[in-house]
Copies of this chain bind each other. A is one copy, B any other.
């Protein structure tokens, strides 16, 4: 059977546009068949289009021809139907559907395309496996309530972001995709040049240098919603290409920038989720966040703060604590209210949990009546030490205290993650709450033990605090950066900094990073030169758009808010990319690949 063609037919209504005002009118609708059922000689079809569902009725007494044609149709066939809108009989009204009171008596049916039986039913609430969904993404997209709805929200959010930023006098400027490597810390995707064999473009990890150049160019308020690329080994929820809301401003400092960003978030949450946010957002310094939550992206929807007890156990006999302190490490406690809810097994499992973050274990104490400790380590601590700890963490009977003793990094990693883990396990995280937090005053550098030198914690264009400038040479580890992250419910959704705008400071920072002047000149000469021609004070921020949309839609993974995501092996399940190419293509590029074995 050859399908029909549109041949001049024009849709008059989308499904959900049909209303009681249209009763007895002739309309024309088009879409996919979700379900078809034969009921007492009458055929009922649920037609699906991009707005929703509409019931079509093929009644032989109304139109013998269209009834006959409707016998053939199957799920996911594409049809166009001309018919008359009717009110459904009382007993077949569906209150769950916007069009549930209506149906269309079809006079004429066009079958525009057939479909093979879909590999999974599209009217099922239970989605198929991910592997099947991604291979048949085009069918997955037709399911109401899945990725399709997420992409509609995404469109709406991105539109709102743009309209907000436009109203604040920002302008969107496009920057190159075929560019040079920038020192963002991750691996670049490279693009071989055909015209200059042996030379390569790099796909941008972010438009960092370009947006700073735009500030030198006087644009003052820039944004771009832009694809960025990182050739990393893909952890849980990363994609090799991801979308960034990239922002840069001139002549303003943190306070004003934060204000604009907070109003932007407020608008999104209000208009998309109907949730009011309280402004301004709270802020913690990096020091405070690490000290209280063991994390630079703490989830502040719940308490369970960490407590340093190093001073209490400073002269303890307990070897684990003692060694940690002697090695310059720390000892911290995490009190779990009513930790008695944790089983023996839960507590035994903590060793494995700690191991993930490089820890050797987590000691614990169950607090009993009178403050007594039931704990494998009770005997190693003096009674006064135990009392002081109880007091410090305000433990009451029924609580559990967990202990970490190791380096600053390990203790905070273990207890910070444990805090999230236990809060989720014990149901202490309020659903539907959205708590934003600024984290500020990050260290400028972190020492890379392996490389034996300092590395930029944010990136090397981040401005140090003016009052810490003199530490750049004498004690780089102490230099604070004017860098900040925006954290939502324990996820870092954005980060940025006030930038260096003086070439002398930029050169000193390169030098602190062990980049010698020659290398700096070779890699960033054009940028250092730009800084010499009247760069204004400037700074900015970048947000992970995929992540924000995932939070807004409640999606479990950013893959659910991306039309065509890649797998953890960076392949495309739909197209099969990457793929081998023709030898002539490689020859033109002057590159060789090892022969396949």
Contacts and interface: CB of A to CB of B under 8 A. Distances in A.
Contacts of A585: 187-188, 190
Contact of A141 (B10, B77, B219): B219
A174 interface: yes
A228 to B, nearest CB: 10
Interface string A261-286: 00000000000000000000000000
A341 interface: no
Interface string A178-192: 111100000111111
A176 interface: yes
Interface in A184-202: 187-202
Nearest to A8: B253
A572 B176 contact: yes
Contact of A251 (B11, B218, B219): B11
Interface in A206-260: 209-210, 213-214, 216-221, 227, 229, 231, 240-241, 243, 251-253, 256
Contact of A575 (B159, B179, B564, B588): B179
A30 B256 CA distance: 15
Given A218-B148, A563-B210, A593-B590, A199 B8 contact: no
A433 to B, nearest CB: 29
A284 to B, nearest CB: 22
A138 B213 contact: yes
A328 interface: no
Interface in A110-130: 112-116, 118
Interface residues of A, number: 121
Contact of A593 (B77, B198, B216, B570): B198
B594 A78 contact: no
Nearest to A201: B578
A8 B563 CA distance: 44
Contact of A152 (B171, B537, B580): B171
Contacts of A345: none
A490 to B, nearest CB: 26
Given A537-B6, A562-B174, A580 B217 contact: no
B533 A76 contact: yes
A533 B198 contact: no
B590 A591 contact: no
A191 to B, nearest CB: 5
B526 A253 contact: no
A593 to B, nearest CB: 4
A306 interface: no
A589 B190 contact: yes
B590 A176 contact: no
Given A50-B221, A190-B585, A570-B193, A201 B577 contact: yes
| Residue from the set A10, A199, A209, A592 with the largest chain B CB neighbour count within 10 Å | A199
Contact of A190 (B191, B220, B590): B191
| Residue from the set A210, A231, A579 with the largest chain B CB neighbour count within 10 Å | A579
A238 to B, nearest CB: 13
Contacts of A200: 578-581
A391 interface: no
A139 interface: yes
A61 interface: no
Contacts of A530: 138
Contact of A49 (B30, B80, B112, B220): B220
A466 interface: yes
A535 interface: yes
Interface in A550-597: 562-564, 566, 569-572, 574-581, 585, 588-594, 596
B193 A578 contact: yes
Nearest to A116: B532
Given A48-B218, A251-B30, A563-B173, A198 B536 contact: no
A138 B537 contact: no
A10 B253 CA distance: 8
Given A192-B190, A502-B3, A534-B115, A241 B176 contact: yes
A322 interface: no
Given A526-B574, A536-B78, A570-B195, A177 B227 contact: yes
A291 interface: no
B159 A251 contact: no
Contacts of A252: 6, 10-11
Interface in A140-173: 140-142, 148, 151-152, 154-155, 158-159, 162, 166, 171-173
B564 A210 contact: yes
A407 interface: no
Contacts of A76: 533-534
Contacts of A138: 213-214, 216-218, 530, 533
Contact of A78 (B188, B195, B534): B534
A353 interface: no
Contacts of A501: 112-113
8 contacts: A32-B218, A50-B220, A113-B537, A137-B213, A187-B585, A195-B569, A199-B580, A200-B581
Given A112-B501, A113-B501, A591-B591, 14 more contacts: A6-B252, A32-B534, A49-B218, A78-B534, A78-B537, A112-B536, A113-B537, A148-B219, A174-B563, A175-B564, A192-B192, A198-B580, A199-B578, A199-B579
